[in-house]
Structures are given as C-alpha cells and as structure tokens.
Amino acid sequence: MSQSEKLWQAVVQCDGTYDRCFYYAVKTTKIFCRPSCRSKTPKEENVAYFFRIEDALRSNYRPCKRCRPDLFQANYEPTQEAVGQVQQLLESKYDQSWTLEKLSNHVGISACHLQRLFKNKTGLSPRQYLNRIRIQRAKRLLLNGKMNNVEICYAVGFREPNQFYAAFRKETGSSPLNFKRSQ
C-alpha cells in the first residue's frame, strides 16, 4: 500500500492515531482537517495532504471549525470549547436579548448542533441556562431591596414582566414577592 493510500484510509476511517502526523485539505472548500475529523468524507481527488499546519495555511487553506487542527491538544474537544464560550457569554451578558441563532453565529456552529451539544454538556438548553442566570441575579436584587419587581425584570434581561414571573416561579417554586418575604 502506497503512502497516499495509507493517508487516504486514515481520512476515510477518521483514524485519530494519525493526528499531528499529517493534515488533509479539501480543495473545493479550502479547509484543512485532522485525520480524525468527523466531517463529511470528501472525494479523494479533491484532497491534498500536508505534514505541517504552516504548509496548509501557506497554501491558503483555513482550519476546520469542527476539529480545529490549529488548536489541537491531546484532550482537546472542540464542542466543549463552544459550550464554554456560550456559557461565558450568557453569564457576562445575561441582560441582553439572546436567541439560539445569535448564539450559534457567535460560536460558528449551527443552531441545532449548538442546542444538542449544550444540552448534552450542561443538562439544560441555552434558554434554560440563561433563565437560571437571570433568576439568580434577580434573587440578589430582590434581597437588596432597592428595586421593585418590574425594574428587576428589565435589569436582568427579561423583556416582559409575565416572562419574568413565569421563569422565576419555575426556577424557585414561588413568586418574587413570596421569595423576598421568606428570606
């Protein structure tokens, strides 16, 4: 078996033992990947092989967003990075309006894929995660006592008081007023 046949078999089989040994690039998409990448198998005639990342970049190929050959580490899991980016974004900018589409554009993966990954990693959808953060912040503001419920609703990012009350009750099991009285 020739070297190019071995390389091609590694690509077809998504063989991770060849990671860091070589990279393959798809001429039609101008993207290069690790051999273990789970992307769709390209046509063999559209594949070029590189033994160094620099060579692929110099040939005007971009790193794959799925397998991230440019960031590859021994235990690197690109999906965990995307979930972490979304978590960090929601925790720091919880008061802004977020849709699944906006979040997926921010991390560079499809909305459906992000929803599935996020739920697998956290046990919550991005919306549930965001609501949990908002309610935690709302509870602190309620205990502070300087703002009324409607002001808190808008301060933590809800656009309507009804959404705030429903999310608060779902998360805490009580209304904001009852929560404040019980503390």
Mean pLDDT, rounded, for 30-55: 92
Kindly report which listed range (3-7, 47-51, 62-66, 106-110) carries the lowest average pLDDT score. Answer: 106-110
Position 164: which residue type? F
Instruction: Name the one residue in this structure whose structure tokens are 């235990």.
Output: 75
Q: Given this model, what pLDDT does residue 72 score? A: 59
Q: Given this model, what pLDDT does residue 47 score? A: 95
- Element (DSSP H or E) covering residue 92: helix 78-92
Mean pLDDT, rounded, for 27-32: 94
pLDDT in tens, 131-181: 999 999 999 999 988 899 999 999 999 999 999 999 999 999 999 989 888
Q: How many CB atoms neighbour CB 2 within 10 A?
A: 7
List the one residue out of 94, 86, 173 whose CA is nearest residue 125. 86
Q: pLDDT band for position 182 (50/70/90)?
A: confident
Instruction: Name the one residue in this structure whose structure tokens are 């690039």.
Output: 25
Query: What share of the chain has pLDDT > 70, as a percent?
Result: 95
Alpha carbon distances (Å) from 4 to 10, 11, 15: 10, 11, 15
Q: pLDDT band for position 32 (50/70/90)?
A: very high
User: Active site includes 14?
Assistant: no
Q: Is the pLDDT of residue 123 over 50?
A: yes
Catalytic residue among 33, 37, 64, 67: 33
Q: Given this model, what pLDDT does residue 21 score? A: 87
Give the separation between CA 153 and CA 148, rounded to whole angstroms. Answer: 9
Q: pLDDT band for position 17 (50/70/90)?
A: confident
Which domains are assigned to the chain? 3-63 (3.40.10.10), 78-124 (1.10.10), 128-182 (1.10.10.60)
Position 152: which residue type? I
pTM over 0.75: no
pLDDT in tens, 61-80: 999 988 888 875 544 555 66
